[in-house]
Structure 1
């Protein structure tokens, strides 16, 4: 828009020399109408394209759409791992990109220019993955559609289970899961032929999950759980039909497919898996990893740069350990503080689940009083605090679930309590700031209230999403929530985990580290027992690059805040800064930096 106005000003200046007196106003009015018409026409083209793009994404992967709060396709699982569907999706991306580049960006209002830039970034990023056969690695111990749907069976997750239609939708997904499993098996067989297979270690960890999904009889299946919890308010005819439908689907379709999957993994796939650790061992593996790094960090940072940032952050945080340790009664070497804390009974004071939930509720009430001083922009959607259901407690970790777009459920913080007596108190404040408010809830719930196009409302990127949540943990200092040494340690310990991730992820996938090296490094720096260091390491093996977004995103937001504070001095407003960061939803970090710099320039 600015460029058009500039050209218009030049044209008007020329008219002064030759236009009759009184004609200038008419010419300017005509020009203004032309600009508005161009703006409107280009905006309509952009918004139509953006809606098409998002609907294609949601139909391609409706389960992920549901996780983001869009349940329009709750009866579908998609078949994104099918080669023909994957090829068709990339063809769509190319068409969308061509159409996008035909739109005159400068004829758009600022808000639409941002949508243009985000859409351009997302399409470019998506197309960078086309050469790499991600579909040949359809499951691992962290991410598998059969497990995801099993976790929905209790009705507490992203799959709604409230109406007859909801129960039918979940049953529809179960009917589609058998064909998905057969496609996954076919893909993995192709992967064996092409040398594109998972590390053996992570698939050995995954195998018990898939074996547990096989049931002796339909009523014993986790997928039958909804049929056991049919609301009394449902008509009898619907209850009978649903129960019979679940029973028949599990017995005749789903359970046999799960048996095929478990047998295939154990007898065929795991023996063919690789003994190597990192993504670099795969065909085109290093190029593939670089695309993942760029996607997960939304930067051009290279693995070696990220590795060094991680090492610097580890050293900085260990310096804080040395300072805080003596205040907690610890006098050993700084690196040993986390292990010492984990052994102290005084930091595990709980006897019941209720005591833990009560702490989080009190903290939430405190935040409701403190956050208005830091935020002028806050979500209207409430935040619920819940215990992770027993059904999924053994495999889940503390997490946030977005509100449903239709308002049928609030945002929710889920805490996982397997044994209250082993629940650690020092990490509770920093965890809630991250997963609850002002972390994920302020960002994700707000996105649904800002009137953004669907691809921005339900989309996003890891670096901003997790970077904001990790930055939100640092605000505990502003709100005097880390007054106790153990609470400050809890914050530092979470920061240390995110710093260590930079080191081990790049170490394994770009520098040739083995799984065992990563495990030992995590034990040495985080004080983890071998079992936790192993599961964390295997997470990064399964999700290359995913762990990088947290710290890279957080450091960028902190850097931008420091830049603004320095440039604006007494004019700096923390609530306004937060509004600038959150006010347009998720942005790639480069676009966020441009936005903050523009705000600084305008504020001066």
Structure 2
């Protein structure tokens, strides 16, 4: 998807070239952009109202997802883009030029999603619209308003599910669905709600089991009764209807082809997804070639470790050894969780030497919930939490746990995301997560662990390299599936031959790539951009290069398109390597 910008400044910025500072930035032009973006952001929050608001507060209503509403959103975002085109970007101040570039990328992404009617496919092998409630139910409820809002959501579920399934029927009619093979068993989370023996056994009742003492007992009783009524009268019937739809209509009739390019207007659709998730204008062939090249380099590093440990056998035999030897696997879920916690505390001990400005928010380490664990990734992190998957322990190698922890906890997702949220100097729309940046940073943190001394054994180091190869392999596999006719078995074989991932992980990961085209490309391409920028800064600054200042500069940006990150690193070099928090560096 080619992007068109007015103003040479933004064209240069998005090409990764430093934007020239205008001699006389116009405050009125800054104000014009700020008014436009602020108004649209407020409108967007109202449109998407449901679940949680911009400040994380639970909302009493769920989003309106009807086709007519979706068409109105597309028209609105197109109008916003026309107004953006009319702003003379070269007259913006340097900081607002960056805001403009980030915001324009958001608007283009939103328009593309609406044009391809992404709302007609509100699920993939990894998540679905109905699974979001599990996260809300498990979060801390602290006020009466939280409980009343969640009860409101539960009572709104029948309407919301009805609108979602109507959209899914429209997608089904035109062959716009996840492939059937990736949907097998994914209705288990719906069934778990239907099969709960009593309302009190339901996941939706979880927040009501233990309530804050600050809420009077009589009010607690009232809220619990309202929750039981909502679960009985709204939640369970809506889930039962959804389960019938999934079992009788959607899964049996879902498309059998795997490739995104086989969907309606598929080539343009997949190209738009590459643009969204990589924030770069690369063709599938280019991405595929990058993946093959990087895999060859990583294979050399992996071979060196195999030789270092003195393993007698080829790489295939070594991978089999790593997947099957009991020494590499925890015996209990508690052992896996405790090991993850120990690694995280080791990172805490060293992080100050590598990053100057630390987030205020801490994170907890908890197991992935049982109802989603069979299809979930090995771990996932975010503000306040590091989820570790304790399902099928023979698939959760300890030699990979250090890389996983660096990625998902600190200094990865559970570190970067709170930093972005705590940066009050940026407009609210800058809090939107951009995968190429966020996943690129987290993968970079895995490699950074070698410098931090986190990998204590050659097997730990191999686990990191296997994880690097896993993400490089995604460039090959994603484009192979969606643009080159690869089969599911071919994709699984490529991961099996080139990484130490378990058979279970390989199956769930490949299904994730099949059902979520493009997202897997963000990790390695994002890491490459950070590493390229760091190498450039080290070469240019020499002894003036300060690793803490560099990392603070990258993190202070929050999520941005990769060309914006590149341009900011160029400015870091031009400024002599000075970071955004000199007193902390």
Correspondence for 2:32: 45
Matched, 1:523 2:496: yes
CA apart distance, 1:509? 0.5
Change (3 A) 1:111 1:335: farther
Correspondence for 1:59: 46
> What CA distance in whole angstroms lies between the structure 1 residues aligned with 2:57 and 2:98?
26
Correspondence for 1:383: 363
Change (3 A) 1:452 1:87: farther
Matched, 1:134 2:118: yes
- Report SS of the residue matched to 2:138: coil
Change (3 A) 1:554 1:368: same
Correspondence for 2:554: 581
TM-score (norm 2): 0.88
> 1:374-409 CA distances to partner (integer Å, 9 max, x unpaired)?
222322333333444556555544545544xxxxxx
Correspondence for 2:5: none
Change (3 A) 1:598 1:426: same
> 1:343-370 CA distances to partner (integer Å, 9 max, x unpaired)?
11222255561x4444334333332332
Residues 338, 493 of structure 1: 8 Å contact kept: no
Correspondence for 1:194: 174
> What CA distance in whole angstroms lies between the structure 2 residues aligned with 1:105 and 1:204?
49
Correspondence for 1:32: none
Correspondence for 1:310: 291
> What CA distance in whole angstroms lies between the structure 2 residues aligned with 1:208 and 1:391?
7
Correspondence for 1:266: 247
Change (3 A) 1:401 1:136: same
Correspondence for 1:596: 569
* Equivalent position to 2:386, from 378, 400, 413: 413
Change (3 A) 1:3 1:280: closer
Residues 278, 514 of structure 1: 8 Å contact kept: no
Change (3 A) 1:533 1:415: closer
Residues 336, 527 of structure 1: 8 Å contact kept: no
Change (3 A) 1:509 1:455: farther
Residues 355, 548 of structure 2: 8 Å contact kept: yes
CA apart distance, 1:310? 1.4
> What CA distance in whole angstroms lies between the structure 2 residues aligned with 1:399 and 1:110?
38
CA apart distance, 1:435? 1.0
> What CA distance in whole angstroms lies between the structure 2 residues aligned with 1:133 and 1:453?
31
Correspondence for 2:531: 558
- Report SS of the residue matched to 2:365: strand
Change (3 A) 1:144 1:561: same
Residues 399, 413 of structure 1: 8 Å contact kept: yes
Correspondence for 2:55: 70
Matched, 1:223 2:204: yes
> What CA distance in whole angstroms lies between the structure 2 residues aligned with 1:343 and 1:422?
9
Change (3 A) 1:506 1:168: same
> 1:205-237 CA distances to partner (integer Å, 9 max, x unpaired)?
323332223135433332222233334553222
> What CA distance in whole angstroms lies between the structure 1 residues aligned with 2:61 and 2:522?
30
Matched, 1:209 2:189: yes
Correspondence for 1:544: 517
Correspondence for 2:79: 95
CA apart distance, 1:419? 6.2
Query: 5 Å matches for 1:142-541?
Result: 142-155=126-139, 160-215=140-195, 216-348=197-329, 350-351=331-332, 353=334, 355-388=335-368, 393-403=373-383, 411-418=384-391, 423-541=396-514
Correspondence for 1:15: none
Q: Unaligned stretches of 5+ in structure 2?
A: 1-8, 10-18, 578-585
Residues 434, 561 of structure 2: 8 Å contact kept: yes
Correspondence for 1:24: none
> Based on CA coordinates, which of the two structures has the bigger radius of gyration?
1
Change (3 A) 1:307 1:113: same
- Tell me the matched-pair count: 559
CA apart distance, 1:268? 1.7
> What CA distance in whole angstroms lies between the structure 2 residues aligned with 1:64 and 1:120?
25
- Report SS of the residue matched to 1:90: helix
> What CA distance in whole angstroms lies between the structure 2 residues aligned with 1:535 and 1:480?
31
CA apart distance, 1:122? 1.6
> 1:244-290 CA distances to partner (integer Å, 9 max, x unpaired)?
21222222222122111111121122232221111111110111011
Alpha-carbon RMSD: 2.6
> 1:11-53 CA distances to partner (integer Å, 9 max, x unpaired)?
xxxxxxxxxxxxxxxxxxxxxxxx6xx41x3333333322223
- Bigger drift between 379-388 and 86-95 goes to 379-388
- Bigger drift between 145-154 and 209-218 goes to 209-218
Q: Unaligned stretches of 5+ in structure 1?
A: 9-34, 404-410
> 1:164-211 CA distances to partner (integer Å, 9 max, x unpaired)?
211112221112221121112212222233232331112223233322
> What CA distance in whole angstroms lies between the structure 2 residues aligned with 1:92 and 1:463?
26
> What CA distance in whole angstroms lies between the structure 2 residues aligned with 1:201 and 1:454?
42
Change (3 A) 1:515 1:62: farther
CA apart distance, 1:60? 3.3
- Bigger drift between 225-234 and 108-117 goes to 225-234
> What CA distance in whole angstroms lies between the structure 1 residues aligned with 2:46 and 2:131?
20
> What CA distance in whole angstroms lies between the structure 2 residues aligned with 1:389 and 1:275?
30
Residues 341, 365 of structure 2: 8 Å contact kept: yes
> 1:148-167 CA distances to partner (integer Å, 9 max, x unpaired)?
20343233xxxx42222111
> What CA distance in whole angstroms lies between the structure 2 residues aligned with 1:139 and 1:400?
18
- Report SS of the residue matched to 2:185: helix
Residues 126, 376 of structure 2: 8 Å contact kept: no
Change (3 A) 1:455 1:315: same
